[in-house]
């Protein structure tokens, strides 16, 4: 039979455990809600990205695209496009990445570009997609580019 002092210590320990478990459950609920908020924000972003791309006729992330000063002030240039491939099918993301310029990308460069835009497919998946993708050509040095009829040119 535990002494009265041991019982008090055990009671206090169990109380602390209950407090921390409640805090963890609350944090877990916050994380669940944050995931929902992120998913909604990601879908809204993807819809607006697609609308802007369609309206401009080229990717707003093309290397030659110029953002207005007011748009450029909203997000720093080094963070711009960090999610540009969200909610795109892998084939569409690859085409979008190739259309941003320069005209040819190695498999490694294409992988880096996709990762910088929020999509981590892995080199094997990218290579497999490239082999099945119509409108993508592989040059003599192993770099990939869009065929002229598939290229989304930047309107100057």
**Under 8 Å between Cβ of 94 and 133:** yes
Radius of gyration (Cα) for the chain, nearest Å? 25
Neighbours of 30 (CB within 10 A): 10
What's the CA dihedral at 37, 51, 66, 120 to 10 degrees?
50
Q: Per-residue pLDDT for the chain (156 aa), expressed as one digit of tens each?
A: 567 888 889 999 999 999 999 999 999 999 999 999 999 999 999 999 999 999 998 889 888 888 888 888 888 888 889 999 999 999 999 999 998 877 789 999 999 999 999 999 999 999 999 998 888 999 888 899 998 755 444 333
Calpha distance 148→101 (Å, rounded): 13
Kindly report the pTM of this predicted structure.
Answer: 0.75
CATH class of 69-150: mainly alpha
What are the structural domain ranges in the chain? 69-150
Neighbours of 105 (CB within 10 A): 20
């Amino acid at each position: 039979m535990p002494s009265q002092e041991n019982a008090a210590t055990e009671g206090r320990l169990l109380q602390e455990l209950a407090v921390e478990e409640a805090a963890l459950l609350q944090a877990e609920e916050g994380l669940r809600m944050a995931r929902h908020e992120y998913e909604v924000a990601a879908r809204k972003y993807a819809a607006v990205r697609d609308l802007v791309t369609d309206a401009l006729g080229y990717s707003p992330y093309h290397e030659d695209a110029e953002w207005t000063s007011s748009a450029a002030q909203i997000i720093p240039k080094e963070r711009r496009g960090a999610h540009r491939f969200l909610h795109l099918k892998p084939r569409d993301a690859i085409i979008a990445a190739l259309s941003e310029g320069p005209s040819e990308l190695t498999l490694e460069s294409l992988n880096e570009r996709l990762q910088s835009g929020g999509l981590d497919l892995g080199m094997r998946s990218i290579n497999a997609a490239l082999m099945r993708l119509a409108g993508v050509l592989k040059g003599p040095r192993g770099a990939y580019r869009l065929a002229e009829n598939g290229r989304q040119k930047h309107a100057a």
